[in-house]
Structure 1
Amino acid sequence: MKSRKQLLNSLLKALLAEWGTDEVRSSLEKAIAEHASERSQWSFRSDSPRVERATALQLVDRLEVQKNVKQPLRILATRFDQKDFLPSIADVREFIIMAGQRPPAIKNRQESFRNLLRILLDLSPERLQQMAEAANHAGPAQLGPISDAIAAAGERLPRRNHEPE
């Protein structure tokens, strides 16, 4: 690192010796201004406004559909935003597969709602209402139903009575 600073100092001394202080200072100020201008065009600036992604509810509110479709969609979208409906990317993928479609590459759960919306809009208003009224559908991530199924299966298994001798 020291050698790089030495090189810079040597170059500056050579420039000063050739063109003088005023000319080097003027050219350096222009170069700094151009460099700053180029960086502001290509790099992220922390003071620039951040683009917010639309929530699932905002996407649904933008739709022009019948009230009997929009209301259950709003409920599902609210649950989705609160992570009560399909809380993980894996759940979203599983839901898409269960709908008979091939899931796209999903990198962001929030963005995946657009894919879900296409599937939900294909459902009948009655089915949408059923989904909205159902207990929080969370897909395979909820272990309660699996646990209940294991317990029920265990009750049907024959048991050996071990009595102390």
Structure 2
Amino acid sequence: MNAANNRRNRFLTQHLQLLVDEYGFDATLSALQELALQQGAGRRHDSHKGAKNARSARPAGMVALVDGIGGDANKKALLRLLASRFDEKEFLPSVSDARSFMEAYGEIPKMKQRSEAMRPIFQLLTEMSAESLEKIKSTDISWGVSRLGPLADAIRERGAEMRYSKHEERPISSTESEKREMSDAQPEPQSAPPHESDADTPPKPEPSGAAESSTPPKTDH
């Protein structure tokens, strides 16, 4: 190995000596330095290009979000499958489907494009159990929420329950509390005594003068 390197170095030195003899030492050295700079720039370019290709090869979209979390392996596999379908527009393919899905879980989506729903829907999916994710995976979801069938009904019912619970937990304002206290403090109005009917009221006695006038006078025979 060393003998081969020595022969190569001697061969290189001989060629360099020929260049130095023809062009001079300084010109040859300057050319070598310029060549070294070009070689270094080429290596840096190749390294940058390789890193760029590696970044572009990484998964993007919701799949990248799933890859960035930990947790149960089975649940993560289900999340990654649904995320891949979402990225390929096989799950919630339109913005209206994504909006309906979020509304079913009590969210108020404010979005104009489907891409804006990626992170909120990812958050909803991560909060689901593995059983719920399995139901979504095993259902024909290629046409969005409107074609989910029984699963869509279950989602809407859950959303209604969540909205109802939020309404029940709404804090009572101070004004409403004061109104309730004032209403409880006021005494209940007493009802008037019942009026006696005319049938139960005894007839008033007529005056004695009126009774005598009504008796016919006696005549002398």
TM-score, normalization by structure 2: 0.38
Q: Which has the higher contact order (CA 8 A, sep 6+)?
A: 1
For the pair shown, the structure with the greater C-alpha radius of gyration is 2
TM-score, normalization by structure 1: 0.49
